[in-house]
C-alpha cells in the first residue's frame, strides 16, 4: 500500500533538512579547521621571524664587538706601544746635560706623552675590556667603577654576589649594559652624590642594578641611542629591563634581570 503524499513529502523534507544540517556542520568544521591551520601557520611564521630577528641582532652585536676588539688591540699594541717607547726615550734625554729651557720642554713633553698613554689605554679598554676576558665580569665592572671614580663627579660603589660565571658573550653583553647605564647616570643624574652598581645572582636569576640618588626623571623619558643599545642587548640576552624613577629627589633605578645559563 503506497504511503500518503503528505508522509512522503514529510520524509523528503526531513531528509533535505538533515542533509542541509550535515552540509552546514561539515562547512563549520572545515572553516574551524582551516582557521586553526591558518593561525598555526601565522604563529609559525611569527616565531620564525622572531628567531631570525634574534639571530640578526646577535650577529650585529658580535660584529660590533669583534670590530671593537680589533680596534682596541690596535690602539694598545700599535699606538700605545709607540707612545710608551717615545716616553722612555724622553726620560733618557732628560738625564743628559741640557739648558733649563730644554729641561722644561722635555718635562712638558713627558707630561703630554703620559696623558696620551692614559687616554689610549682608556679608549682601548672602552672598546674592548681585556680585563673581562681575563678575569670575568665582576672584575671588569670593578675596573669600570674605579675609572668612573677617577672623574670625581660622584662616588661610585660596586656590590657583587656573583658565584657562577656566564659565557663570555653573555658577560660582555652585561658589561656593555652596565657601562652604558653608568655613563648615563654620570651624565644625567643631576644632583646625585652616590651611584651604586649591583650584580646579584640568586639561583638561576641574575640582576644587574644601577641606582643613583639624584633628582630622578619623569615617567616617560626620551629614548636615546644609548638606551636603545641597552634594550637590544637585553633582548639578545632574553632578559627584562625595568626602569624605576621615584619622585623628585628619590633618584633613578635601572634593573636588568635574566635567567642565567652558566657557561
pLDDT interval class at 50 (50, 70, 90): confident
DSSP 8-class letter at 208: E
The predicted pLDDT at position 181 comes to 92
User: Given a cut of 60, is residue 153 above it in pLDDT?
Assistant: yes
Predicted TM-score (pTM) of the model is 0.59
Please, which pLDDT band fits residue 256 given cuts at 50, 70 and 90? Answer: very high
> What pLDDT score does 95 carry?
65
pLDDT at 219 (0 to 100): 46
Can you give the residue ranges of every domain in the chain?
1-128, 130-263
Please, what is the average pLDDT of the chain?
78
Instruction: Give the residue with greater pLDDT, 12 vs 254.
Output: 254
The CATH number of 130-263 is 3.30.565.10
Handedness of CA 140, 142, 148, 151 (dihedral sign): negative
Q: What angle do CA 155, 160, 166 make, to 5 degrees?
A: 130
Q: CA nearest 232: which of 50, 58, 52?
A: 58
Tens digit of pLDDT for each residue in 54-79?
A: 776 776 777 677 667 767 766 666 66
Please give the C-alpha separations between residue 191 and each of 61, 73, 186, 261, in angstroms, as whole numbers. 34, 37, 10, 38
Question: Residue 79 class from Cβ within 10 Å (0-12 exposed, 13-18 middle, 19+ buried)?
Answer: middle
Does the pLDDT of residue 7 top 70, yes or no? no
Q: What number is the average pLDDT over the span 107-115? A: 75
Specify the range with the lowest mean pLDDT, choosing from 88-97, 102-111, 143-152, 212-221.
212-221
Per-residue pLDDT tens over the stretch 179-234: 889 988 888 877 788 899 999 998 889 999 999 888 765 444 445 566 777 888 88
State mean pLDDT over 14-20. Answer: 80
Determine contact, residues 129/142, Cβ cutoff 8 Å.
no
Amino acid at each position: 500500500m503506497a504511503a500518503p503524499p503528505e508522509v512522503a513529502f514529510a520524509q523528503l523534507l526531513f531528509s533535505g533538512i538533515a542533509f542541509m544540517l550535515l552540509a552546514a556542520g561539515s562547512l563549520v568544521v572545515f572553516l574551524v579547521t582551516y582557521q586553526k591551520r591558518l593561525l598555526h601557520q601565522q604563529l609559525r611564521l611569527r616565531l620564525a621571524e622572531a628567531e631570525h630577528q634574534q639571530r640578526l641582532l646577535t650577529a650585529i652585536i658580535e660584529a660590533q664587538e669583534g670590530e671593537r676588539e680589533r680596534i682596541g688591540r690596535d690602539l694598545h699594541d700599535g699606538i700605545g706601544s709607540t707612545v710608551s717607547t717615545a716616553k722612555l726615550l724622553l726620560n733618557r734625554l732628560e738625564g743628559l746635560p741640557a739648558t733649563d729651557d730644554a729641561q722644561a720642554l722635555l718635562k712638558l713633553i713627558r707630561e703630554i706623552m703620559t696623558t696620551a698613554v692614559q687616554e689610549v689605554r682608556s679608549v682601548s679598554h672602552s672598546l674592548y675590556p681585556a680585563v673581562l676576558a681575563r678575569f670575568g665580569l665582576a672584575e671588569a665592572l670593578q675596573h669600570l667603577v674605579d675609572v668612573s671614580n677617577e672623574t670625581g663627579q660622584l662616588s661610585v660603589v660596586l656590590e657583587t654576589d656573583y658565584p657562577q660565571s656566564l659565557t663570555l658573550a653573555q658577560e660582555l653583553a652585561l658589561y656593555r649594559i652596565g657601562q652604558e647605564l653608568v655613563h648615563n647616570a654620570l651624565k644625567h643624574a643631576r644632583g646625585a652624590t652616590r651611584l651604586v652598581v649591583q650584580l646579584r645572582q640568586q639561583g638561576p636569576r641574575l640582576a644587574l642594578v644601577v641606582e643613583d640618588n639624584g633628582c630622578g626623571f619623569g615617567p616617560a623619558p626620551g629614548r636615546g641611542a644609548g638606551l636603545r643599545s641597552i634594550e637590544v642587548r637585553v633582548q639578545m640576552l632574553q632578559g627584562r629591563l625595568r626602569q624605576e624613577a621615584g619622585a623628585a629627589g628619590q633618584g633613578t633605578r635601572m634593573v636588568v634581570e635574566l635567567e642565567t645559563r652558566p657557561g
